């Protein structure tokens, strides 16, 4: 596995180790190696931007799982160049993962991706056959997906997991919850639009299930939630009366880079469930999804 110490990676390592898999995680630092060891996996030195080191790490592997990402959190996402490393991981990084897997004779590659690749479909349901809308935000993920799909053939399996927006025990959730607690607008898009979400508790099980999926692209998430209900859930968890949506200034600051987050995405994950038996343990969003993120935050700002 690459990306084994990130939000999805940590959940995946625990799920795989819990299912008695022998998990080897590519690491670049002593700190990461120690974290991997504590989770019950085995670290191996390597770098996703060094294909030779990946080839060495992949020797004897039955599957390669690439979860490497570096999405900036909170206001840092607005800084110039903030997404450069993340984009490089989706393009050059995935290229190297696939090439190293090919050299090492690995039969299965699993790649993490995102469901906001899809075009806005309003209230219509979105399946894996629905149209995509490629922008500066989604193009790197599309490039990575294409490499994994090209890897698949009669003797190899390529699986792409299009996850919903992650909510739960992660930095971005804590950022939005803190903003809601201080009365700032966190809603993006129209209140009646749909968001595709997944709780952090469901990430590991999805990666585990992907080891049994046929080649293909799969949507992975809970039931879609309308944005008004999502924002209100944050408000309830933050202890404030009601949530707010971003005004024109906030939308301008976000700019085209994060435009996909405004799309109405009523995404269906039934295909993945049918192929693997995976079911979300957190199937429907509510304020309880934010319990872990709420811990340690300051008291609500008085009204």
Number of domains in the chain: 1
pLDDT digits (tens, 9 = 90+) for 53-111: 999 999 999 999 999 998 777 766 666 677 788 899 999 999 999 999 999 999 999 99
The secondary structure of residue 67, as a DSSP letter, is -
| Residue 221 counted as domain residue | yes
Q: Can you give the residue range of the structural domain that contains 147?
A: 7-294
Has residue 74 been placed in a domain? yes
How far does Cα 84 stand from its chain's mean position? 17
299 within domain boundaries: no
What pLDDT does 257 receive?
67
* 301 domain residue, yes or no: no
Share of the chain above pLDDT 90, in %: 79
For residue 254, pLDDT beyond 70: no
- Is residue 217 scored above 70 in pLDDT? yes
For residue 87, give both structure tokens: 């984009």
5 CB contacts (<8 Å, ≥6 apart)?
A: 25, 27, 32, 35, 36
Q: What is the pLDDT of residue 300?
A: 47
Task: Summarize the confidence of residues 263-283 as an average pLDDT.
Answer: 97
Per-residue pLDDT, 90: 94
Determine, yes or no, domain membership for 2.
no
Contact 227, 192 (CB under 8 A): yes
Angle, nearest 10°, between helix axes 227-238 and 171-181? 70
List, in order, residues 6 or more apart from 232 with CB less than 8 Å away. 242, 243
Between the alpha carbon of residue 249 and those of residues 142, 185, 232, 254, 255, the distances in Å are 29, 11, 21, 9, 10
The answer as to whether 303 is a domain residue is no
Least confident of 119-133, 197-211, 242-256: 242-256
pLDDT per residue over 16-28, tens digit each?
Answer: 999 999 999 999 9
First CA to last CA across the chain, in angstroms? 47
CA atoms of 104 and 73, how far apart (whole Å): 35
Provide CB contacts within 8 A for 153, sequence distance 6+: none
Looking at residue 299, what is its pLDDT?
42
Q: Which residue has the tokens 């699993």?
A: 110
Residue 185 has pLDDT above 70, yes or no: yes
Closest by Cα among 290, 270, 288 to 279: 270
CA gap 291, 169 in Å, rounded: 8
Cβ contacts of 107 within 8 Å, gap of 6 or more: 62, 63, 155, 156, 157
Distance from C-alpha of 22 to C-alpha of 16, rounded to nearest angstrom: 8
Give 296's pLDDT tier (boundaries 50, 70, 90).
low
Q: Could you tell me if residue 300 is inside a domain?
A: no
191-200, 240-249, 258-267 — most confident range: 191-200
Q: What is the pLDDT of residue 79?
A: 65
Q: 53: helix, coil or strand?
A: helix
Report the pLDDT value the prediction gives residue 80, as an integer from 0 to 100: 63
Question: Phi and psi (nearest 5°) for 216?
Answer: 150, 180
SS3 call for 28: coil
Handedness of CA 109, 99, 29, 163 (dihedral sign): negative
CB-hemisphere CA count at 13 Å for 177?
A: 27
- Model pLDDT, residue 225: 98
* Helix 94-104 vs helix 139-151: crossing angle, to nearest 10: 10
Q: Could you tell me how many residues make up the chain?
A: 303
Q: Write phi, then psi, for 299 (nearest 5 degrees).
A: -65, 155
Name the DSSP class of 268: -
Asked if the model's pLDDT at residue 153 lies above 50, the reply is yes
Tokens of 47: 């770098």
CATH number (domain holding residue 161):
3.40.50.720
pLDDT band at 302 (very low <50, low <70, confident <90, very high): very low
């Amino acid at each position: 596995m690459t990306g084994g110490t990130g939000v999805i990676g940590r959940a995946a390592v625990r799920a795989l180790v819990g299912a008695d898999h022998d998990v080897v995680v590519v690491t670049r630092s002593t700190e990461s190696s120690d974290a991997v060891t504590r989770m019950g996996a085995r670290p191996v030195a390597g770098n996703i931007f060094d294909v030779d080191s990946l080839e060495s790490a992949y020797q004897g592997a039955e599957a390669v799982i690439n979860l490497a990402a570096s999405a900036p959190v909170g206001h840092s996402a607005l800084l110039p160049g903030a997404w450069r490393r993340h984009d490089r991981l989706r393009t050059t990084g995935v290229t190297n993962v696939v090439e190293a897997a090919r050299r090492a004779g690995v039969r299965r590659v699993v790649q993490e991706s995102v469901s906001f690749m899809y075009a806005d479909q309003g209230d219509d349901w979105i399946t894996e056959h629905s149209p995509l809308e490629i922008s500066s935000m989604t193009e790197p993920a599309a490039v990575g997906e294409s490499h994994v799909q090209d890897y698949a053939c009669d003797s190899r399996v390529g699986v792409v997991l299009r996850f919903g927006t992650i909510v739960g025990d992660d930095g971005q959730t804590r950022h939005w919850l803190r903003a809601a607690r201080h009365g700032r607008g966190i809603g993006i898009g129209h209140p009646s639009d749909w968001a595709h979400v997944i709780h952090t508790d469901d990430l590991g099980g999805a990666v585990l299930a992907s080891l049994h999926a046929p080649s293909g692209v799969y949507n992975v998430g809970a039931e879609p939630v309308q944005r008004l209900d999502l924002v209100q859930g944050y408000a309830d968890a933050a202890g404030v009366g009601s949530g707010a949506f971003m005004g024109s200034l906030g939308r301008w600051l976000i700019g085209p880079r994060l435009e996909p987050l405004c799309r109405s995405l009523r995404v269906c994950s039934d295909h993945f469930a049918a192929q693997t038996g995976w079911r979300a343990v957190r199937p429907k969003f509510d304020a309880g999804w934010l319990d872990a993120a709420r811990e340690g935050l300051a008291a609500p700002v008085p009204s």
